[in-house]
Chains A and B, each alone.
Chain A
């Protein structure tokens, strides 16, 4: 159905696709896997005419075709659902679907007729989407189905889906896979870009594995397994679990939290009398359903109490009260913070890697020099950036690139590297591997354990239960702003922790 032959694409100095050849059989679900930045999305964006290849051919139904705009791709029956939805939010579902594929003359836009067709398509594939709803009123899962309808309305025979499950909850994923199977039964061809191996195995017929802009494997799904795919993706054997020794556990208390309470403007307590300690050389994990005070806890400890919130209680660092210190003063004492939302709190996306690598240290050496340290020291900044880039394997290793151009995993490695540079005594880390691919997850986990082994106290919040139980030496469970229990992560069962998290008895 679709074939890419020897596709090459360069962005500046980066070779995003290097002789990529992919062949998709008609009527199959074809998975393209690889780590972030492996070139999967680039290859498929070329197939959809969003990017133009520097070399190579695109074949549709066995014929070489020129696809230089999405319009060309649509005409050939190729549709694409992007990772970030391409929807005009204030407009209705019908308007979004019809956009660019309007029927009738220049003077008429028959949305009523279009709505009927959309309803028919929606019924055929059991998508249950109301054509008259405005897109911004829909849930993420529904918006994704609008994207599917958009492609189907354009008579797409081949659908390219870029990381479709990243935004879905587990039950929604099941539902979504059922839709894909129905599409395959109806004779559609599906290409799904992902880095989740369980999904590849669950849904696909064929797999193409990419690494560093090249295709490194082509297999039938029934003849492979997770370990083999992971090895192909990363280029070496991947440990799918965390390796660590027991914590010494006799370090001095680095962080002491006493009766910490954070009250929002509306009087609601986001944190309610939280008390605990973190000792040198241990990782204390915090598990809980998201939105139960974890964000407020980490941010308050980092000195970032949100506007409108008031905090009370005591925070001690190495026995000294730091409750009233701001984030910069805390950082100077050795408190590092890896925020949960790297775009909001972690990076200036339009600044380059060098500038981002000194954020928070921008006022002290080596970032500044000269009389009274009033000048930025370019050489010092670059040296710091290169060190972070090398130590944390940030790719592409170019300090002049804007942070925006990096994949999520590499952005995260840059932030972690920057925070490690201050040799922290206490690390506050939230969702360290959210949206990060498996090779980088393993890397980040090893770094966190190494930091602990070097004597740092680590407070870790993660929504991934597997991650906190694997990394933490002690595990606290939070619910509704309070710590409701402490368990030994080596002994506690998932059920036990789940009960504490939800409050069900």
Chain B
């Protein structure tokens, strides 16, 4: 077993946790403000594709990252307008965005690169393998500070708990919600960009493979708090990292366990965590409820 638990495993854990953490922190802003963000998956895809495509054309991962953030914000804006302006069902809107984002990148890459599967390879020098990792860890502290030590954070929490009370206190409820949802788009998009121009070197179709949902699970497991959410992301990252390392190494019965079985571990853990802990963790009270005056 010792060959599995190494320093490399720790780094691998952090690297696999990074996209989860970025998306989960994005989700945290949105959900603490009372808007369910099941669209994290789609927002990550938007960021991943745009970052890879722009990096390919511009030759700069920074331009790619910025463009990815822009794409995430743009897609999040659809969710925000649907949910806040038009009081749409937040789960339905988020699901629609996820479905949309499985198709749009494929269509665009078909038009731009004559391949609906993936974007062209990006040279090794144009990747940013570590910046998003550091950024994600820094953002945990920043998010904590914003949430508990700034007026914006106070308003954000109040709007997610009791928007009527916030309104009565003179807070612009919908304004706070818009900023929160757009912010979540930006963060989830960085998470997506990290997948395409950090961990790998191109965008492949549906490359997030459910990470947006795992991030959401981590957010719930972490009780919508930044530090606990980070720990939850690290746990999920750890299982994924270890499942990669175990492949071909872990032979409990002298036989190799099929790869497929090992790689389902993170998903099984997600289900177990959600089933076991969702009741214990108290969501922001106004989560999922549009704020309507004069009803």
Contact = CB atoms under 8 A, between A and B. Distances in A.
Interface of A: 11, 48, 50-52, 69-71, 74, 80, 82, 85-91, 95-96, 98-102, 104, 106-109, 150, 154
Interface in B45-80: none
Interface of B: 148-155, 157-158, 161-162, 164-172, 293-294
Given A70-B167, A99-B171, A88 B152 contact: no
Contacts of A11: 294
B153 A88 contact: no
A71 B169 CA distance: 7
The main secondary structure of chain A at its interface with chain B is: loop
B154 A106 contact: no
28 contacts: A11-B294, A51-B293, A52-B294, A69-B167, A74-B170, A82-B168, A86-B165, A86-B167, A87-B162, A88-B157, A88-B158, A88-B162, A88-B166, A90-B161, A91-B157, A91-B158, A95-B158, A96-B169, A99-B154, A99-B171, A100-B166, A100-B169, A100-B171, A104-B151, A106-B150, A109-B150, A109-B154, A150-B169
Contacts of A52: 294
A102 B164 contact: no
Given A69-B172, A71-B172, A99-B155, 8 more contacts: A48-B168, A86-B164, A88-B162, A91-B158, A95-B158, A98-B154, A100-B170, A102-B154
B153 A109 contact: yes
B162 A71 contact: no
A89 B294 contact: no
Nearest to A80: B168
Contacts of A85: 165
A85 B162 CA distance: 11
A247 B154 CA distance: 62
B151 A71 contact: no
Nearest to A402: B295
A71 B172 CA distance: 8
B170 A101 contact: yes
A114 to B, nearest CB: 11
Contacts of A107: 150
Q: Which 6 A-B pairs have the closest CB atoms?
A: A100-B169, A102-B151, A100-B170, A86-B165, A86-B168, A71-B170
Contact of B158 (A51, A82, A99): A99
Contacts of A69: 167, 170, 172
A70 B168 CA distance: 6
Nearest to B153: A109
A100 B151 CA distance: 8
Contact of A99 (B150, B166, B293, B294): B166
Contacts of B152: 106
A101 B162 CA distance: 16
A106 B164 CA distance: 23
A95 B170 contact: no
Given A99-B166, A100-B166, A89 B150 contact: no
A99 B169 CA distance: 6
Nearest to B164: A86
A91 B149 contact: no
A100 B148 CA distance: 15
Nearest to A154: B170
B142 to A, nearest CB: 11
B57 to A, nearest CB: 36
A12 B105 CA distance: 46
Contact of A89 (B161, B166, B293): B161
A74 B167 CA distance: 11
A280 to B, nearest CB: 45
Which of A50, A51, A52, A88 has the most C-beta atoms of chain B within 10 angstroms of its own C-beta? Answer: A88
Residue among A95, A98, A99, A109 with most chain B CB within 10 A = A99
A86 B164 CA distance: 7
A104 B150 CA distance: 10
A150 B166 CA distance: 12
B150 A86 contact: no
Contacts of B150: 106-109
A90 B282 CA distance: 11
Contacts of B153: 109
A91 B32 CA distance: 13
Contacts of B154: 91, 95, 98-99, 102, 109
B153, B154, B169, B171 pick with most chain A CB within 10 angstroms: B169
A90 to B, nearest CB: 6
Given A102-B154, A106-B151, A88 B168 contact: no
Contacts of B162: 86-89
Contacts of A90: 161
Nearest to B167: A70
Nearest to B169: A100
Given A88-B162, A90-B161, A101 B169 contact: yes
B134 to A, nearest CB: 21
Nearest to A84: B164
A50 B169 CA distance: 11
A109 B155 CA distance: 11
Contacts of A70: 167-170
A104 B152 CA distance: 12
A284 B154 CA distance: 54
A107 B151 CA distance: 7
B101 to A, nearest CB: 32
B161 A86 contact: no
Nearest to B157: A91
B161 A88 contact: yes
B168 A109 contact: no
B156 to A, nearest CB: 11
A396 to B, nearest CB: 16
A88 B164 CA distance: 9
